[in-house]
A and B are shown apart, each in its own frame.
Chain A
Amino acid sequence: MKQHKTVIIIIAVALFLAGLIAVQTWLRYEATEGRSQNIVLWHSYIGKEAETLKKVVAQFNNNSQINGGFQIKILSVSFDNFSDKLTNSLPRGQGPDIFIYGHDRLEDWLSKEVLAPLDYWFSNQELKDFHPLKALKAFIHNKRIYGLPLTVKNLALFYRHLPDGSNPGNEITELQQQNHWNLKNFQQLATKYTRSCPWNNSIKCYGLGYSAVAAYQHAFLLHGFGGSYIKKNQKIDLVTKPALKAVNFARKLAGHHDNAVVPPELSYSLMSNMFKKGEIAMVISGPWFMSQLNQNDFQFGVKPLPAIAGKPARPFLTVEGIYLSSKAYNPTASIKAIKYLIDKQSSLIRAREAGQLPVRKSVIALMKQNCRDNNKKCIYKKNFFDVFAELSQETVLMPASQEARILWNPYSKALKAVIERGKSPKAALEDAQWEIKKYLGACIRRDDKQ
């Protein structure tokens, strides 16, 4: 009897499992059906940008006039894993047909032969429609284009009306009008708003929020003082006077001392959290920050970063591009998908829903038009795209060379050492310089031998 019972149990379990596997296999089959009619798109967006992309793609998929029978299939890959996964899988025919990512990996990907050139498919008119000239330039290598800009991202200063009724925006406007919107006044303003919160004395409020320890955010200071991360000849010289000045100033703003105007150990999510509650008055962030804010909750605005040494601040510009894979299954259909994604309709949706700054003159003109007519559709002004568009002119294109790719981590480490642990800027930057040389070691060794 007992024997029978065991047998029955085993058979039941086996059947159950077989059923599960069958359902799973069927579902997978259903999901991957018609692969030859699919264009696979990889991206690393999360949150609103991912939702919006999904929406835009759904429109493409549902419109048989645009898609010509092809369907875009999206895969979201985590940001940290994106490049490794891409360079691993693409040469083996496992990768996407098109993908979305920043321009900063371009050279690396070119050397690994994962990109296909696009210039043949786009006319002069189409190319000249891209607005900040730098945006398209970011993808040009050896007189070929290896990607097209979807949007650009650069930093600006967000301010908000605080719960106690004060508004740093007014003061900034005043300073701007007097032509006194510079680093010194900026620091003073931030210091003024660094106090125990007027509405709750047990909490400390801060004047400014920004990731002082990130090389990307630090760039506007470095450039402002006249330095740069990478020289034109791709040489790296970190220990320079401007660099030291910039690091020193960052420490003044964000170091672990009583006069700091930036909260210690500020992570991005903490920063948006505190800004929403009014515990931070001003924030240096990019257009993506807007998609997390809501004018109905509190009034906020965007201003340019303060001038440094008499010149407008120049933060980094990153261009988010769409790329065609060198192993694309059907390049013509993929080009169609790319054209759709950079096109007017999708740009408008992406701008409205995800706060992605438009990069085509025609789109910007249309949006401006909408705002002039006092249309409800006006999002150009309302979302401060006008401010960002203007600011994007005064930016430095983030370098995309192999050296640059290696540079960010050690530099951020140096910033952290100075800001959080009070290391001397010179020593920290020297360490970073040494470290970068070591990281590049593998390739330098080869060059020397040749």
Chain B
Amino acid sequence: MSKNKNPFTFLMKTNFKSLPLFIVCLVILLIASLVVVLRVQKRTVQREIYHQGIKQILQINSAGTDNIKNKSVKKFFKLKAHNKYNDKLYNFEFIVGFDRSNPNQEFKGQLQGKKYSSLHDLAAQALAEKKAVMQLNRGNPPHTVISLPLEDNQVGIVVKNITTRTAPTPWLGIILIIMLAVAAFFLTPEPWKIIVTNSIGALGFGMLASGYRLAPHGSLLEILGNSPVGFTRGIFPPIWLITSLFFIGTGILYQRGKIDKLITTIKSNRIAYTYVLPAMLGMGLLVLLPFAIGLGLGFFNHCNGEFQFIGIDNFVDILSGGGTSLGNPLNFYFTLGVTLLWTLLNVFLHVSIGLSLALILKDPLLKMKSVYRVLLIIPWAMPNYITALMWKGMFQQQYGAINIILDNIGIGGISWFSTFWPAFMANVITNTWLGFPFMMVVSLGALQSIPSSLYEAAEVDGASKWQQFRNITLPLLRPALFPAIVLGSIWTFNMFNIIYLVSGGEPGGSTDILITEAYQWAFKRGERYGLAAAYAILIFVVLIIYTRITNKLTKAAEDM
């Protein structure tokens, strides 16, 4: 940092090292401002035309079509509604018709033919909803149609050219902010340059955008722009929030010298980054971006296509149980418990069956090993939705093979999906069938890597088979098996298809696991996308905690 007391000497000594970064930030600021400004302008246009159109309809309605002065009116119609289909629908008849391009054309009688269908639609909509309706038509030239219900079942319709004055772009405001930022760039000492300029930019941007809403007509603030609608709605707050956070974030990083470091490492590891880049690009676009949107959705509420920000309400709702008792399948903790049990049981069965088979198949004297191996891998190769439907058929009460077998051995068939435990076990059996081959293959590979000399030595020492297993096989398997178990449990935790297609949550949603529960909220229970996203985030958090713990455990095991 400079020791110089005179602030103006910074001007001479300005360091241009951070200029590129500054320019990047400036460009982003400019783009963000223009996005906001253009959006607001578009809305202004629509709203002004709307009000103008209504005014004109009323005017022409009282004054008649003979002297329509305003050149922006292309056509004007007055229609009267008659009832058709036993009073349930409208039929329209021309009362007045005016077309500037063809003043002699007569409009009489019923609306008929292809060309009047949109006229009919607008008139009927206005009449039925009892309010003015506007439709933008992107023809050439672009025009707008506005229809307004009048007294006595009549509708006035005006077709207008779009000639309305748009709200001026607040260049003054934008230039002002940029100048301020440039001045700050020169006046602030390094390493504070970027954070100060960016803060000014973010603040100015916010003022600019809100100026759009706040400025009353004719006030001094209007030089920052004027608009009746604005900033606190729609996409503006997120845009402002994101740009501001980004600006201040880069400022802080820069101040701490992180950006410099980043640039030098990128330069020195150029090859590495080129190798990673293709995968990262694809991932960023098609995995991380949806993922980020998914995370964001968790803080919104969805109703009929509209999203509303509600903070952490979704999480509060889920984590507090949402007014359900612990025994209710809709309760988060109940579902979490089922999910954990499901995962544990499955992974235990996968590993124990897979490992046992691997131990049997390992025997060097056993012939036809590869035949068994190939056949036993088949469940893994089957597409899992086929597996699920196949097993659902096996558990069918009347004709399912399992109940027939149970009948034949005298136990009697079970109604698999009407109580919790059988339904849960049906899911587990299906998923175990599907999952043990993976563990078998992993165990086979791991067993191959254990040198047989160890067993020979143990044999010489007189160790029993069990001792050999405990003291040689298990410890040496661990490094290969542990990651497979972690991965397997993540897969099982999110195993959507089996639960959804086998038990479908039956009975009463109690066998739903977290992921199917989230799916239900999103697609089956009133499209609560926000709540579903919150569930997904919680799944994510649980899994992260789980991997953290297992990582620690592996580390501890390795240290031993």
Contact = CB atoms under 8 A, between A and B. Distances in A.
Interface of A: 84, 111-112, 116-117, 119-121, 124, 127-128, 136-137, 140, 142-145, 256, 263-265, 267, 270, 273-274, 331-332, 402, 405-406, 409, 413, 416-417, 420-421, 434-435, 438-443, 445-446
B89 A421 contact: no
Contacts of A265: 396-398, 415, 417-418
B311 interface: no
B526 A417 contact: no
Given A421-B419, A439-B526, A442-B528, A117 B121 contact: yes
A325 to B, nearest CB: 14
Interface centre among B305, B418, B528 (most CB of A within 10 A): B418
A416 B509 CA distance: 11
A416 B415 contact: no
Interface in B484-524: 506-509, 523-524
Contact of B117 (A127, A145, A331): A331
A420 B84 contact: no
Contacts of B323: 434, 438
Contact of A145 (B89, B111, B417, B530): B89
A143 B525 contact: no
A417 B505 CA distance: 13
Given A406-B525, A439-B525, A442-B531, A264 B397 contact: yes
A150 B174 CA distance: 59
A109 to B, nearest CB: 11
Interface string B38-70: 000000000000000000000000000000000
Contacts of B530: 442
Given A112-B305, A128-B85, A331-B117, A143 B397 contact: no
Contacts of B415: 256, 264-265, 420
Contact of A446 (B85, B301, B418, B419): B301
B322 A438 contact: yes
B114 interface: yes
Instruction: Give chain A's interface secondary structure class.
Output: helix
B398 A442 contact: no
Given A265-B417, A265-B418, A417-B508, A443 B84 contact: no
Given A144-B125, A263-B398, A421 B418 contact: yes
Contacts of B120: 119-120
Interface string B94-133: 0000000000000000010010110011001101110000
Interface string B66-82: 00000000000000000
B330 interface: yes
B233 interface: no
13 contacts: A111-B304, A119-B89, A120-B121, A120-B124, A121-B117, A136-B85, A144-B124, A409-B524, A416-B507, A420-B507, A439-B528, A442-B303, A442-B530
Contacts of A121: 117
A250 B322 CA distance: 31
Interface of B: 84-85, 88-91, 111, 114, 116-117, 120-121, 124-125, 127-129, 301-305, 308, 310, 322-323, 330, 396-399, 415, 417-419, 506-509, 523-528, 530-531
Contact of A124 (B85, B305, B418): B85
B399 A270 contact: yes
B124 A119 contact: yes
Contacts of A112: 304-305
B418 A256 contact: yes
A127 B524 contact: no
A441 B330 CA distance: 14
A274 B301 CA distance: 46
Given A120-B111, A446-B308, 5 more contacts: A117-B124, A256-B418, A406-B526, A438-B323, A445-B310
A137 B525 contact: no
B507 A137 contact: no
Contacts of A120: 111, 116-117, 120-121, 124
A264 B438 CA distance: 37
B525 A416 contact: no
A263 B530 CA distance: 40
Nearest to A116: B121
Nearest to A447: B303
A142 B419 CA distance: 46
A119 B123 CA distance: 12
A373 to B, nearest CB: 33
Given A264-B415, A417-B507, A420-B507, A143 B90 contact: yes
Contact of B302 (A127, A142, A417, A442): A442
A151 B539 CA distance: 45
A140 B301 contact: no
Contact of B525 (A273, A409, A421, A445): A409
Contact of B85 (A127, A274, A416): A127
A439 B317 CA distance: 12
A142 B128 contact: yes
Nearest to B90: A143
Given A124-B84, A265-B415, A421-B418, A143 B305 contact: no
Given A263-B398, A413-B509, A420-B415, A144 B301 contact: no
Contacts of A402: 304, 526
A112 B530 CA distance: 18
Nearest to A143: B128
B89 A332 contact: no
A127 B397 contact: no
Given A263-B398, A442-B530, A119 B418 contact: no
A413 B328 CA distance: 13
A127 B91 CA distance: 13
Contacts of A117: 121, 124-125
A442 B521 CA distance: 11
A420 B89 contact: no
A421 B322 CA distance: 25
A438 B91 CA distance: 42
Given A124-B85, A265-B417, A406-B525, A446 B507 contact: no
Contacts of B124: 117, 119-120, 143-144
Nearest to A408: B524
A408 to B, nearest CB: 10
A97 to B, nearest CB: 15
Contacts of A446: 301, 303, 308
A415 B216 CA distance: 60
8 cross-chain pairs, A with B, having the tightest CB-CB distances, nearest first: A142-B128, A443-B303, A420-B418, A439-B526, A120-B120, A439-B525, A143-B128, A265-B397
Given A143-B89, A144-B125, A264-B415, A84 B523 contact: yes
Contacts of B308: 446
A265 B508 CA distance: 14
Contacts of A434: 323
Contacts of B114: 332
A137 B88 contact: yes
A403 to B, nearest CB: 9
Interface centre among A120, A143, A439, A445 (most CB of B within 10 A): A120
A216 B250 CA distance: 59
A127 B128 contact: no
A248 B525 CA distance: 26
Interface centre among A127, A128, A144, A273 (most CB of B within 10 A): A144
Contacts of A142: 125, 128-129
B58 to A, nearest CB: 23
Contacts of B129: 142
A84 B529 CA distance: 12
Contacts of A144: 89, 124-125, 128
Contacts of A445: 301, 303, 310
